[in-house]
Amino acid sequence: MKTIPVEVVKKISDREFDQFYLKPQKPVVLKGLTDETSAGKKWNIDYINHVCGDVMVDVYDNANPNSASAFTTPDLKMKFGDYVNTLLRDEPSTLRMFLFNMFAVRPALRKDFPCPSIIKGIMGRAGFMFFGAKGVNVRIHQDMDMSNVILTQFYGRKKVVLVSPNYSRLLYKLPYNTHSLVDLDHPDYEKYPGLRHVPTMECILEPGDSLFIPSGYWHYITYLESGFSVSYRKIAQTLDFQLLGFLSLCIYMPFDKMMNKLLGKIWLHTKEDLAVRRANRDLHKMRQHRRQLDLRDLLPH
């Protein structure tokens, strides 16, 4: 796997963002997007705790192998203030909160951090918060709706690894699902040889940084410190991704859930087999293509 850093940009106009990143679907870290907002000045963990402390929230436990999906039942329900205490304690924790719709519970927060103008659109009212303790991993996945995302970090630092959706098969994507079989921290090239050919992009988000994650990009996140961020979304640019987002949410995901219930492990193994076969097919095509290029080089010009 070859890794390159995600480009970092300091100040950018909406037009430049559109031209250089949104249209070409190129990830970028934007510095200072929150500078002119009230959130940039006053949001930290204590402030959010002060505003939302008594709200009951859904908490997911990474230690539960069936957890970590917005479509599973939460592992715990607790007051937000109690969850924050687990974050601030100097002990490892596997608890995370994701897709927390803070604006639904505290609409005044929206005024502090409205949807950034660079990705304003019909999804601009949907802002979600993500929280995690130091060491928490968010397993590699694509967002099911295939939308563009701006993920803004407010507290703590996190490492994000991105992979283009062009490499979904070589990443051993599970069919009917937006997860992959591979572990990027411990790549097993014997088991998953396709992974050698997958280029990754990497960045570390600090408070005040916003990461643009284009439609369908795979993301794998490690909380280097306890922290939180907010995401805003914009509908996918192409009809293909819009359709895929619709199918994933409305057809594939419910179908996958039903088959999991009906067949359990048999369904999981069927999907794993299919993921491996698809990756092998792509690997075979790549090797054939390379052989053709080598042969062409051998022939007299």
Ligand X SMILES: O=C(O)CCC(=O)C(=O)O
Does 109 engage in binding with ligand X (CB under 6 A)?
no
Distance in Å, CB of 162 to ligand X, minimum: 11
Decide: 136 and 93 in contact? Cβ < 8 Å. yes
Q: How many residues bind ligand X (CB under 6 A)?
A: 11
The distance of closest approach from Cβ of residue 293 to ligand X in the complex, given in angstroms and rounded to an integer, is 37
DSSP string, 45-77: HHHHHHHHTT-EEEEEETTSTT-S-TTS--SEE
Contact between 151 and ligand X per CB under 6 A: yes
Binding track over 268-287 against ligand X, x by CB under 6 A? --------------------
One of 39, 68, 149, 195 touching ligand X (CB under 6 A): 149
For the window 184-213, what string marks contact with ligand X as x by the rule CB under 6 A? Answer: ------------------------------
Smallest distance, ligand X to C-beta of residue 290, A: 34
Q: By C-beta, is 181 or 222 nearer to ligand X?
A: 222
Q: What is the 3-state secondary structure (H, E, C) of 224-245?
A: CCCEEEEEEEECCCCHHHHHHH
Closer residue to ligand X, CB minimum distance, 158 or 279: 158
CA atoms within 13 A on the CB side of 283: 17
CA distance readout (Å), 104 to 101, 125, 235, 286:
6, 10, 20, 48
What is the C-alpha to C-alpha distance for residues 41 and 70, in angstroms, rounded to an integer? Answer: 30
**Structure letter (DSSP) for residue 117:** G
Here's the x/- map for ligand X, 79-108, by CB under 6 A: it reads as -------------------x----------
Compute the chain's Rg from CA coordinates.
20
Give the span between the Cα atoms of 210 and 230, in whole angstroms. Answer: 9
Q: Which two tokens stand for residue 207?
A: 């408070």
Burial group, residue 101, by CB count within 10 angstroms (0-12, 13-18, 19+): exposed
Nearer to ligand X, 162 or 221 (CB): 221
In the complex, the smallest distance separating the C-beta of residue 233 from ligand X, rounded to whole angstroms, is 8
Asked if 221 touches ligand X (CB under 6 A), the answer is: yes
Contacts (CB under 6 A) with ligand X, residues 227-246? 229, 231
Alpha helices in the chain (DSSP H): 14-17, 38-42, 45-52, 80-88, 102-105, 108-112, 239-247, 253-263, 265-298
Residue 130 touching ligand X (CB under 6 A): yes
Q: How far is CA 198 from the centre of its chain?
A: 17
75 in contact with ligand X (CB under 6 A): no
**143 scored as a contact of ligand X (CB under 6 A):** yes
Q: Give every CB contact of residue 41 below 8 A, 6+ residues apart in sequence.
A: none
> Which residue, 180 or 194, is less far from ligand X as judged by CB?
180
Q: Which stretch binds ligand X (CB under 6 A): 22-30, 143-151, 259-267, 293-301?
A: 143-151
Residue closer to ligand X by CB (options 112, 148) is: 148
Residues in the site for ligand X, rule: CB under 6 A?
98, 130, 132, 138, 143, 149, 151, 219, 221, 229, 231
